[in-house]
A and B are shown apart, each in its own frame.
Chain A
């Protein structure tokens, strides 16, 4: 996938991010490449600690990749010396992130009006406080917080979890972003409120053309929100499969994606109790401090081929129209040539 080409609004090529001291260095993101077309949704799914948030933060420019590139509108965001590229400011405004923890991300001592008007005034997107108020009211209405007057002068702790998430979305919208990185934006809210929140975000896509990198560990949410887009499945720091959502959900090819889809409980007794299982060879999630050789999934993988999988790292290979898989066996069966 050539994320730097004009085809994609935003994307990544061979992103790597390490953390820690020289003595105990972990690679949180090992090799991530993907692209998102304008107005499209790409969902990043995978288990806790696999590097979703780290990837999202790099895409939003909040974390600098150790190596690799982030592209925005066809240009590399960091220049070859690792400094901010010339359009960095445009990029930072164009790509907004909604953080995983809604409690930590809204300043508790500011009212909703203050939280929302600050970026408007700071970036001179409005001429004065009067205009700021109008715009705040407009945005709160867009995210479905009404009557708006009830919310303007409240503090974050006075709102429910769902309402706080709406404020986070509204705040991200203040600077008219083209891309929103939504990190577990609905995971903390109850099912009865979740659908409304997802529909609101889908409306932003429809009406404002917002492009999403949508991070979630919940496959049902991914299916619903990204049905017309793509899903990228991550496993310990890398994307192992990238496919259109219906393909990924109903015909996964990577053994890890297959295992996830077979294991996930369904909200339907008949369906969930009659699902075929995928037996893994081990339940242990590898430690980042002692990564398995070759394919990171090989100690657990039902397809494991000794001498191949434990030796050579599979690349993310194209196997169809905008469809990729990183598995020696799955790629071979799909007829890919490396």
Chain B
């Protein structure tokens, strides 16, 4: 395998499905991407499009009913590639948290209520091995302080004694316990209030800068992505339909679905903007429509879209890819946004 030291994670053509009574849910369909060291990639898309399934598949913690039917997941440490799909259960346990830690979507409520924070941290550390109890304690106190908590107080607290924002910080501290190079955060700020959300966003930004891990964060909230992402990937019906630098996605989106999302979310400050809704609803992933999965809702759809599924191809630049046959027409409709692109690019250059 070649040296990909600057790219800790690569995913190739990943397919994940759930077997349920009614049929097979194709939750992740042919996803490929890579994560560079120190970057944050936001995965956006609406409920049920497969974000969590993708995240969980990356550390192979899928439920029984799920199956990775195809694909490759590789973590790189220096010159060495780890083929995740061929790891045995014991190796997997060592791999998780060490190479890649995940903070789960529902984790805020998933703390064991009768265990003190310290016991939960110790359990995690034990499960993944390699440190003495004293080392764990020392590291835990360090990390709690690092996420701006009062370590002595928090480590002996029960979960219910902590606010949502404090619990989210504890989870972040725990995920850093074994110094992973990739961090997956599933909706890290969704359940939090605005002021708390702000402190977590600022904290994540600081952690990323100082520790330099790569971050994949999942969010249905465009504003969080605008804040935190270096790159954004839009997911629809199990596939990535567009991926590019954050300013490209917001100021010159090339996929009709990405554009639809942006037109549907107002900014808070500033003048009134009319919003445009996306008609229809996301497809059934058991029996998705033929062709482009977005075509039943897409204002740009043509005959070709109904029969053929577009593949990700580069547009605007090497780093921006989009899966749509009608990019040129979409581009025509983003001129107002592109003005803001110029402003942003100018601001960055200064």
Residues of A within 8 A of B (CB): 47-48, 160-163, 190-196, 198-199, 217, 219-220, 223-224, 227, 246, 249-250, 259-261, 263-275, 280, 283-285
* Residue of B198, B199, B277, B344 touching A193 (CB-CB under 8 A): B277
- When C-beta atoms are compared, the residue in chain A nearest to B48 turns out to be A190
Q: Are B266 and A269 in contact (CB under 8 A)?
A: no
* Min C-beta distance of B287 to chain A, whole Å: 16
Interfacial chain A residues near B201, Cβ < 8 Å: 265
- State in angstroms the CA–CA spacing of A284 and B197 once bound together: 13
- State in angstroms the CA–CA spacing of A42 and B270 once bound together: 19
* Residue of B47, B264, B270 touching A195 (CB-CB under 8 A): B264
Interfacial chain B residues near A224, Cβ < 8 Å: 266, 272, 275
- State in angstroms the CA–CA spacing of A227 and B262 once bound together: 19
Kindly list 17 other residue pairs between chains A and B, CB separation below 8 angstroms, not including A267-B250, A270-B344, A274-B347. A47-B194, A162-B281, A191-B222, A192-B264, A193-B277, A194-B277, A196-B279, A217-B193, A223-B268, A250-B270, A264-B198, A266-B268, A269-B226, A269-B246, A270-B340, A271-B269, A272-B226
Known: A227-B272, A263-B194, A265-B223. A194 touches B264 (CB 8 A): yes
B135 proximal to A (CB < 8 A): no
- State in angstroms the CA–CA spacing of A285 and B196 once bound together: 10
Residues of B within 8 A of A (CB): 46-47, 163, 165, 193-199, 201, 220-224, 226-227, 246-247, 250-251, 260-262, 264-270, 272, 275-279, 281-282, 340, 343-344, 347
* Min C-beta distance of A46 to chain B, whole Å: 9
Q: Are A192 and B163 in contact (CB under 8 A)?
A: no
- When C-beta atoms are compared, the residue in chain B nearest to A162 turns out to be B281
- State in angstroms the CA–CA spacing of A199 and B279 once bound together: 12
- State in angstroms the CA–CA spacing of A249 and B270 once bound together: 8
Interfacial chain A residues near B343, Cβ < 8 Å: 270
Interfacial chain B residues near A160, Cβ < 8 Å: 281
Known: A190-B47, A195-B276, A261-B268. A269 touches B247 (CB 8 A): yes
* Residue of A196, A246, A273 touching B277 (CB-CB under 8 A): A196
* Min C-beta distance of A171 to chain B, whole Å: 21
Q: Are B275 and A271 in contact (CB under 8 A)?
A: no
Q: Which 4 A-B pairs have the closest CB atoms?
A: A195-B277, A265-B223, A263-B198, A190-B46
Q: Are B340 and A268 in contact (CB under 8 A)?
A: yes
- When C-beta atoms are compared, the residue in chain B nearest to A200 turns out to be B277
Interfacial chain B residues near A163, Cβ < 8 Å: 281
- When C-beta atoms are compared, the residue in chain A nearest to B46 turns out to be A190
